[in-house]
């Protein structure tokens, strides 16, 4: 039996407290970071929530741009900033994945619409003189990408899925013949079984560009800012 048992116990208790709070702090950090260990259902839920939020925000952006465009300078034909919604005659193309069952030894990948197909189609429309193009309501701006994202395609950082509806304002018949020429894009797509539906329209609408038009790096030449 010895006197002074408090001091050793106190020293252990200090260690205990330090360990406890450090561990608490670290675990709180990891709880925020542990995306890979979450269950896929939770991840899906988070993804859906984030996408709904993003959709709402991009709607707000379009509304605010409309608001900024309209007051004040409604008179006169000034060149408009950004890319507003446009309407006019044009062509509407619907691409659907092949419904043919793939045979033995055939790659099922060839039967679906890829980002390259859309890219070629849009490029063909542009070279044929289309003035405004949208794919599944995503306006094609000069910064729009058409990228492969797993089973979907990314345009303007938004995921789109088949069927793909491409609308282009321009001379309808001219655009149609540009696409339909021998060895052209439609023949190429149909060869792989992709269903291509082309309609010339008297009037169609191409939506406004909802992405950002701000430049972070580029600025006009010769201006001091």
Q: Which residues bind another protein (CB under 8 A)?
A: 1-2, 5-6, 8-27, 29-30
CB of 65 to another protein, least distance (A): 44
Rounded least distance, CB 39 to another protein, Å: 18
Nearest to 178 by CA among 119, 115, 126, 131: 126
Q: How far is the CB of 35 from another protein (least distance, A)?
A: 13
Edge-to-edge order in the sheet of strand 86-96: 138-139, 132-135, 164-169, 86-96, 195-206
**Toward another protein, which CB reaches closer, 28 or 67?**
28
Smallest distance, another protein to C-beta of residue 37, A: 10
Nearer to another protein, 19 or 50 (CB): 19
Q: Rounded to the nearest whole angstrom, what is the least distance from the CB of residue 25 to another protein in the complex? A: 7
Closest to another protein by CB, 34 vs 80, is: 34
Nearer to another protein, 4 or 76 (CB): 4
Nearer residue to another protein within complex by CB, 23 or 81:
23
């Amino acid at each position: 039996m010895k006197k002074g048992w408090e001091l050793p116990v106190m020293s252990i208790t200090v260690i205990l407290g330090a360990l406890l709070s450090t561990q608490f702090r670290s675990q709180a950090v990891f709880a925020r970071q542990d995306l890979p260990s979450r269950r896929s259902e939770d991840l899906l839920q988070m993804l859906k929530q984030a996408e709904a939020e993003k959709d709402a925000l991009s709607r707000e952006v379009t509304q605010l741009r409309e608001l900024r465009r309209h007051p004040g300078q409604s008179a006169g034909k000034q060149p408009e900033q950004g890319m507003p919604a446009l309407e006019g005659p044009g062509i509407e193309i619907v691409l659907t994945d092949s419904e043919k069952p793939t045979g033995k030894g055939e790659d099922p990948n060839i039967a679906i619409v890829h980002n390259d197909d859309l890219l070629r189609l849009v490029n063909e429309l542009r070279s044929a003189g289309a003035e405004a193009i949208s794919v599944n309501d995503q306006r094609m701006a000069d910064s729009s990408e058409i990228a492969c994202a797993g089973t979907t395609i990314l345009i303007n950082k938004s995921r789109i899925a088949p069927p793909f509806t491409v609308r282009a304002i321009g001379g309808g018949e001219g655009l149609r013949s540009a696409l339909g020429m021998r060895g052209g894009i439609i023949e190429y797509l149909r060869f792989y079984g992709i269903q291509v539906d082309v309609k010339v329209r008297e009037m169609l609408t191409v939506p406004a560009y909802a992405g950002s038009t701000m430049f972070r790096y580029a600025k006009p030449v010769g201006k001091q800012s």
